[in-house]
Amino acid sequence: MHVLNYDDNTAFLGDWGNFQKTVFFLLCSSVIPNGFTGLSIVFIGDTPAHHCRIPASVNITVEWRNVSIPVEVDYGHTRFSKCSRYKLDVIKGFSDKGLIPWVDVNVSALEQESCKDGWEYDRETYVSTIVTEWDLVCSDDWKTPLTSSLFFCGVLIGSFISGQLSDRWFGRKIVLFLTMGVQTIFTLIQVFSPSWVIFCSLFFIVGMGQISNYVAAFVLGMEILSLPIRIIYSTVGVCTFFSVGYMLLPFVAYFLRDWRMLLLALTLPGFLYIPLWWFVPESPRWLLSQGRVGEAEAILQDAARKNGVKAPQVIFPLPQSGEKAVRVKFYNLCDLVRSSNIRAITILLCLVWTTLSIGYLALSLNTSNLHGNSYLNCFLSAAVEVPAYTISWLMFRFWPRRLCLFSTLSLGGAVLLFVHLIPQREMCSNLFNMLGKFGVTIAFAIIYAFTAELYPTVLRNTAMGACSMASRIGSISAPYFVYLGSYYRALPYILMGSLSVLSGLLSLLLPESIGMPLPETISHMQKVTGCKKKQPSYNLASSKGDEECVSV
């Protein structure tokens, strides 16, 4: 059963009563751990400076021990080789003979070998990371980006499963708390990982819960809150609280330099959210889409009591005698591509989501490689999101949605294209990185709210999950964008900048949704059109589109 005038029927609640305030802040607070979990790999998976270990048991003079590691030039700076050393048996022979390096022997001409005895790691920044614990360097350095990619593979699967569970069977609330539990419990188990393989397996499961928690909370708030509060919630609310978690991450990591202790500290707050079950309601919109009118009315009547207003005795009138009852229809992922219009919208949104995910994650994961203190850089990367979300709210409130996406994607893309022209060890390079992150973050906040506005209630969580699932292709590849920087430092910025500008152009093809009510059924969705005029909002009694526009 779909009540087409839901907003009118629930107008008696008002916009900002005690009920809405409770839902707003509790749902926003539920995404704080996502800021911990999603980006904790920045610290627990960072690679400190390292070089080959020279065992203390090797009997060589101090002079030969000091020159046993080759020196390399990296972008104009000298450093010890990370993955090779001079052959110890040769060095020992020279040392036993009393020969002096550089005086009697040209050390740079000596034969080199791999780090057969392991590595020495710089402990100034970290006591331990997963890299230092399991030696994920040199021939095994591919495992570091793979760790992040496996997490986002879990996010990909979680997006697929949770959307279906939420829309078809269990609703928003159960999926929200189930995924919060998965994220918390498996992160706790991850603290005790005995090997890299076990760590990655658990990280995959954590990823399944991480994004599903965020999307379920996002959709639940979008469907409960009225239009003015919905815009604030979707662009500033949940996003800012995610940034709060993100900003707390470097603060906690600064004091806990051991990766296991850090992960434990970031996990325990998740158990504080158990009492929220008794305060967060199910989505009345979803209950109505399932034909559960009585449950939806009970939630709204309770909301009216909390707001101190009187609710109508019957909020959603049932079909009158002689009228045919509406049969509940279930939808799935196939419905996102069933018609030409919804297929075009889905493809365009998936492409934009993928590009945004690449830009956002690659810039976030790269903070430890920027000039200066890694903890400060991570904090600034998180802090820049707060004004970005505030601006996204202002833009979303007053600007057409397509213009919002185009302008912010173009800004972020253009800045990233210029980053590689700035000297890498200068603070202005960091400034350009943060400005690029600023533009991409605004676009990311807008695309979440824009997507929720375009899809109907019967498919909204499935569509959000599908778009999020598509964006995980970008998330999975983002660590390798960072990895490419070890071969050619400008390449990640050139790729991210080009893709962002291209996605900005594609966003102009999407339908406009500003001023439109949330669609309830597929027939109420806006059309992908070739005209410049904004389409009128759908008629509650009819599903006719704008005949002056040419549908694609």
Please report which confidence band the pLDDT of residue 258 belongs to, taking 50, 70 and 90 as the band edges: very high
Please report which confidence band the pLDDT of residue 536 belongs to, taking 50, 70 and 90 as the band edges: very low
* Cα atoms found within 13 Å of the Cα of residue 262, Cβ hemisphere only: 26
What whole-number distance in Å separates Cα of residue 337 and Cα of residue 329?
Answer: 17
Please report which confidence band the pLDDT of residue 243 belongs to, taking 50, 70 and 90 as the band edges: confident
Least confident of 29-33, 130-134, 226-230, 483-487: 483-487
On the question of pLDDT at 242 being above 60, the answer is yes
CB 215 within 8 A of CB 159: yes
On the question of pLDDT at 335 being above 80, the answer is no
What whole-number distance in Å separates Cα of residue 85 and Cα of residue 78?
Answer: 15
According to DSSP, the β-strands at 50-52 and 71-74 are unpaired
On the question of pLDDT at 310 being above 90, the answer is no
Taking CA atoms, 370 is separated from 145, 348, 366, 367, 425, in Å, by 17, 33, 7, 5, 8
Q: What is the pLDDT of residue 149?
A: 85
Residue among 191, 241, 339, 312 nearest 30 (CA): 241
Tell me which of 545 and 45 has the higher pLDDT: 45
> Tokens for 533?
């005029």
> Tokens for 32?
């704080």
Model confidence, pTM: 0.74
On the question of pLDDT at 24 being above 70, the answer is yes
Q: What is the pLDDT of residue 538?
A: 47
User: Could you tell me which CATH number the domain at 6-47+141-313+331-524 has?
Assistant: 1.20.1250.20
What beta strand segments (E) does 98-158 contain? 112-114, 119-121
According to DSSP, the β-strands at 112-114 and 84-86 are antiparallel
Q: Where are the domains of the chain?
A: 6-47+141-313+331-524, 50-56+80-121
Mean pLDDT, rounded, of the chain = 79
Q: What is the pLDDT of residue 422?
A: 63
